[in-house]
Every structure is written in C-alpha cells, then in structure tokens.
Homo-oligomer: A and B are copies of this chain.
C-alpha cells in the first residue's frame, strides 16, 4: 500500500474496515530521519558479528567491504627509481656549469644496477632502480647529445648540474612499509584493489555478503509480462528495489507477489525467513485499511512508525522470527527513497559496501515548496554548471521522472520554500 501523508500528531483512532480486519493506527508523533536511521543501524549491527567475514582473492573482492585494516607489507615504491628516461648521476659531484661524464651500462626497469662510479653517468629508464652512488636523474632531452648512446661503444655525455633527488621517486614516497594502507570498512573499488596488488597482497578479509528476502505486497499488483486487469498496476517496486539492492552488493531472494491476505503473507515469510539475513517488504505499512504487512508483523517484533520525511513517511522496523525486518511503503518512489535514506547508507556504514553516495552542493534551477516539519527528498538532474533541476513533482508515483533523474535533492526540516539559486544538498545516484 502506498505512502499516506499523515497528519502530524493526531491520528484517527481504531477504525473498522470493510474486510472485517482491524485498521490500527499508532497515536505517536513522527520520528526524525536521523532517529530512524539510528534504529536501522541498531537493527543490523549484530550482522557485523565475528565470524561473518571471509578471506577472498583480490579478484573476488571487487565491490566488497574490508573487514580488517591493511598495513603495507612493503614500501611503495619499494626502491628509489627514476621518474624519467635519463641519466642517473651523483649530484654532489657535478660542477655548477655541468660536466662531461663517461656513460655507464644502461639500467632498464626491473634490473639491479651496478654502483655508479665517480665520473660516470648511467642511462636509466623510467621506473628503473637508481644505482648506488647516484641521487638524481637528468632527463635525456637535457643531455648533449640528447639521446642514449650505443651501449656497445665507449661514450661520454655532457649533463647540466642538478639538485639531489631530482626526478627520483624515493622509497616509500607513496606509502611506507608498516603504515596503514586501507582502513577497516573501506569499500574495495578498482583503486583500492590496485593499491593492494601493488603491495603484493593477493587476498583480503571482507564482510560476508547479506541475503535479503524481498516481498512485494498488494492485491492490486501484477507482474510485468502478464495482462493488466482493470484497476491493477504492474509491479514496479520489485524490479526497482531488487536492482538497487543488487547494485549495493546484496543477494536478493524475490518471492511471488503477496496478496492482502495476512495468513498468506505470514506463511510466505515463515517459509523463507530462516534462509535470509534481512526481510524487506513493500506496501502495507501505512495508516489506511488493508495494511497487510502491519497486520502480520505489528506487535510481533515490529513497530510501524511515521518518519518526518516526504515521501516514504510510513515505515515498519523490527524482526520476524528473529530476522531483521524493514517494511517500506508501496509507491515506487517512496520505496527507492526509503532504500536510499535508511538501508543503503547503513550498509555502507556497517559493512563498507556499497560505496557511500557522493554528496554535493548545487543551486536549484527553480523554486520549490516543502512541508516544513518534514525532510523532503526530491528527484532531480544535476547539470555540470552546478545547478539541479527537479524532475517530476512531489508525488511518489512518478517513475518516469525518477528514471530521468541522476540525483536526490534534500530539503531539510524547517524549510517550507526555496527559490531559484538557493543551495541544496544533492546525493548523486
């Protein structure tokens, strides 16, 4: 069932409903976005317990969250090496006006060079080890002649004077052995895995992935690919949330659509709960009639609360047979906003994956209004001139507008109107 804007602080009392079911409403005040996020952290934190980590090869670590700090076993670079193709020299032995030096055997990358003798310069390739006795590199284009001589003949080269350390990458200048390479909880993307590989590390300890049971509810919902009877809508939520969860690194178990029959939902959850780490439902959590998720779970380990947020206000949270449970509202946009506000950032915080959303400041391309007592989350397109244009209105059924957005736009509690040019916080999707 979709999100229903709920009058702040004065909910109607217990009402009869047509099916004879009970229409319960809480007589509670709304909780803040931060309070609800904290509650989700507390719900999921036990899943971070010891034993829920695993060692994996680097190749299998892409997109995972690091469970232990990694200390550098070697320095980067592991040895002083040349930043240029040039001549390795002893800078202290070079007179101010430059010097004519004898050309030693060339030093390719990967080789152990002989020590540099006084009066000599060694041709050296980028990345090759600086010979003992040398402390600087003169780029080949500054030499006279400005090329490497034939190594089969004895040659000399004129080189200008240079300062110690010039064009030398010193040992550990990127990272010294023993220093922290990556902190616990780091998201392992290409750059982080590349760093680990560069340190010689070929496996790593990561948090185990979580499996989530995803249940779409509602008599009005039918799966895509089927005929659409009058009054029904296609199941957009299931695909939307499954995709968002898979992108975030979760393994998703989808069920068939649950009808508004409490007994059926109860049986469906009971048959699957023991094999998953988390249950997420969509629909059936608000103040209306036929709120099947609420009917099954309320008072049995789950609370149904109203978060001061638009859309996505009605939220369920708790456990079902000991398994953590989150109940999102039924409109597609409310579902995605619930996921982005409450589940995704908590996964990032607790398990290091997915990567945190990037938050930027942008200027509104046009004004907006917002309920002052709610945190409003709008959808928008961030443009590279630093402006953000809202896509669609406040309404939480606008999937086409969502599909044309690349950002969530935050209007915090306390603001009821913003004008063109006002700065807002934007999360990049």
Q: Main secondary structure on chain A at its contact with chain B?
A: loop
A120 CB to nearest B CB, Å: 15
Q: Which residues of B contact A74 (CB under 8 A)?
A: 228, 234
Tell me which of B63, B78, B392, B398 contacts A228 (CB under 8 A).
Answer: B78
A222 CB to nearest B CB, Å: 8
What is the bound-complex CA distance between A174 and B17, given in angstroms? 31
What is the bound-complex CA distance between A61 and B162, given in angstroms? 58
Interface residues in A217-261 by Cβ distance below 8 A to B read 218-221, 223-226, 228, 230-244, 246-247, 260
Q: Which residues of B contact A23 (CB under 8 A)?
A: 148
> A56 at the A/B interface (Cβ < 8 Å)?
no
What is the bound-complex CA distance between A19 and B240, given in angstroms? 59
Q: Which residues of B contact A220 (CB under 8 A)?
A: 108-111, 127-128
What is the bound-complex CA distance between A392 and B76, given in angstroms? 13
A215 CB to nearest B CB, Å: 16
What is the bound-complex CA distance between A394 and B15, given in angstroms? 68
What is the bound-complex CA distance between A221 and B429, given in angstroms? 38
Q: Is the CB of A182 within 8 A of B403?
A: yes
Q: Which residues of B contact A127 (CB under 8 A)?
A: 1-2, 218, 220, 233, 330-331
> A89 at the A/B interface (Cβ < 8 Å)?
no
Q: Is the CB of B174 within 8 A of A200?
A: no
Q: Which residues of B contact A237 (CB under 8 A)?
A: 194
A-B contact pairs, 20 of them (CB 8 A): A12-B141, A16-B149, A16-B151, A18-B108, A78-B228, A83-B397, A108-B290, A112-B231, A126-B286, A127-B218, A174-B392, A175-B399, A189-B247, A191-B336, A191-B429, A196-B239, A198-B236, A200-B228, A358-B428, A360-B384
> A406 at the A/B interface (Cβ < 8 Å)?
yes
Q: Which residues of B contact A331 (CB under 8 A)?
A: 127
Tell me which of B126, B174, B198, B238 contacts A1 (CB under 8 A).
Answer: B126
0/1 per residue, A83-105, Cβ < 8 Å to B? 11100000000000000000001
Q: Is the CB of A125 within 8 A of B1?
A: yes
Q: How many chain A residues have a CB neighbour from B under 8 Å? A: 129
What is the bound-complex CA distance between A297 and B421, given in angstroms? 53
Q: Which residues of B contact A112 (CB under 8 A)?
A: 230-231
Q: Is the CB of B79 within 8 A of A231?
A: yes
Q: Is the CB of B384 within 8 A of A194?
A: no
Q: Is the CB of A402 within 8 A of B358?
A: no
0/1 per residue, A394-424, Cβ < 8 Å to B? 0101111111011000000000000000000
A415 CB to nearest B CB, Å: 18
Task: Please provide the 3 A-B residue pairs with the shortest distance between their CB atoms, ordered closest to farther.
Answer: A110-B220, A194-B240, A198-B236
What is the bound-complex CA distance between A46 and B182, given in angstroms? 41
Q: Which residues of B contact A194 (CB under 8 A)?
A: 236-237, 239-241, 243, 332, 336, 399, 402-403
Given contacts A1-B125, A15-B147, A18-B151, contact A195 B236 (CB under 8 A): yes
0/1 per residue, A279-295, Cβ < 8 Å to B? 00000001111100000
Q: Which residues of B contact A3 (CB under 8 A)?
A: 126
Q: Is the CB of A219 within 8 A of B15?
A: no
A208 CB to nearest B CB, Å: 20
Tell me which of B202, B336, B358 contacts A406 (CB under 8 A).
Answer: B358
Q: Which residues of B contact A198 (CB under 8 A)?
A: 224, 233-236, 332, 399
Q: Is the CB of B230 within 8 A of A195?
A: no
Q: Which residues of B contact A402 (CB under 8 A)?
A: 191, 194-195
Q: Is the CB of A218 within 8 A of B13?
A: no
20 further contact pairs, Cβ within 8 A, besides A15-B147, A108-B219, A125-B289? A2-B109, A15-B148, A16-B151, A58-B224, A58-B239, A59-B242, A78-B232, A126-B286, A127-B330, A148-B289, A174-B399, A175-B400, A189-B247, A190-B240, A191-B336, A194-B237, A194-B402, A200-B234, A360-B362, A361-B386
